[in-house]
Amino acid sequence: MYTKDGETYFITDSHIHFWDASPANWVPGQEQYAKGWIECFHAYMGLAPAETHWPLEHFQKYSEDDLMKDLFEDGYVDVGIFQPTNLRQWYTEGFNTTERNGQLAGKHPGKFIVNTSWDPRDGDAGLEALEARSERWKPKGAKLYTAEWKGDSRGWKLTDPEAYRYLAKCEELGITNLHVHKGPTIWPLDKDAFDVSDVDHAATDFPNLNFIVEHVGLPRIEDFCFMATQEPNVYAGLAVVVGGLMHARPRFFAKVMGELLFWVGEDKMTFGSDYAIWEPKWQIEGFVDWDFPDDAEFSDYPRLGVDGKKKILGLNAARLYDIEVPPELRLAESETSASA
């Protein structure tokens, strides 16, 4: 929890990772991609305040103690939601897997929600594996990485027939929250594989699933907003928006937040620190203090008050994941929906 000026905020960090990108985990023959990927991630950390930067070696593989301290001791987080990304083409044991996340979560009951992931190019075997992970970890969500490489394939779309089989399986298994990476690319992935247009079709065809578009389609913010406003089950995941823009690009951050508030609304926006690219502490403190610049350029955007910030920082994700929020930290209009 975070308290400021007499207001206490329940914090659900809906986008965290526990990765291993150390050289020992690089696939032989794929070292240039494994190395380039994590170095690109590390460069994004440079958008945060200088005092929060990590050396590359630490960034490649941080410890369980590091994570617990950064999130829960220093970072105000009440519940963290793991978003796995396999990248087994480059990392022998995977980059950030359901299994690794789940093992850590098992040691700290009540602190984490373990999401899974899937790739429609895995076919029938992948569906069977998804069922097995669902039985083991009981995930309520999945992270989808449509630009991930697999063999000679450099991406897939939610509208692919095989993807629809997996979406139907998610509906059957109760994996209702699909976090789709649609935002800034990471070398060597292809930017166009993160286009948001396939979300539109899938959200219409699967109205019982929630599509949380992580990184809000940046740099395609207008495309995302015009799509999300018409789809009631499309949400804006603010990972990268807060961590990547609030400090380094404050006026652009205000524009992006303004567009999201106008078109999508504060009820469909979720906070994610994108740990360990960025730590949550400075993001939460800065977001609670944030307001639009006081000039005419931002005058036609909706304002964001304390209640809206409470929704974004924790209560919206708590509603999607049936996380129990202490009664004193709920808002009156969400008291029923935010409790388990």
DSSP conformation letters of 218-271: TT-HHHHHHHHTT-TTEEEE-TTIIIIITTT-HHHHHHHHHHHHHHT-GGGEE-
Q: What is the pLDDT of residue 333?
A: 66
Q: Provide the mean pLDDT of the chain.
A: 95
- If pLDDT is split at 50, 70 and 90, which confidence band does 338 have? very low
Percent of the chain whose pLDDT exceeds 90: 93
C-beta separation of 280 from 71 below 8 A: yes
Percent of the chain whose pLDDT exceeds 70: 98
Q: What is the pLDDT of residue 318?
A: 98
C-beta separation of 297 from 305 below 8 A: no
Q: According to DSSP H, which parts of 138-241 are helical?
A: 161-173, 197-205, 221-228
Dig out the tokens for 161 from the structure. 């027939």
Q: Is pLDDT of 340 > 70? A: no
- Residue 68 parent element (H or E): helix 64-68
Three-state secondary structure string covering 316-338: HHHHHHCCCCCHHHCCHHHCCCC
Domain boundaries, the chain: 2-334
Dig out the tokens for 286 from the structure. 């800065």
Q: Is pLDDT of 163 > 90? A: yes
Q: Is pLDDT of 339 > 60? A: no
Q: What is the Cα–Cα distance from 186 to 206, expressed in whole angstroms?
A: 29
Give the count of beta carbons closer than 10 Å to the beta carbon of residue 297.
Answer: 12
Options 3.30.565.10, 3.40.190.10, 3.60.20.10, 3.20.20.140; which CATH number does 2-334 get?
3.20.20.140
Dig out the tokens for 324 from the structure. 């129990």
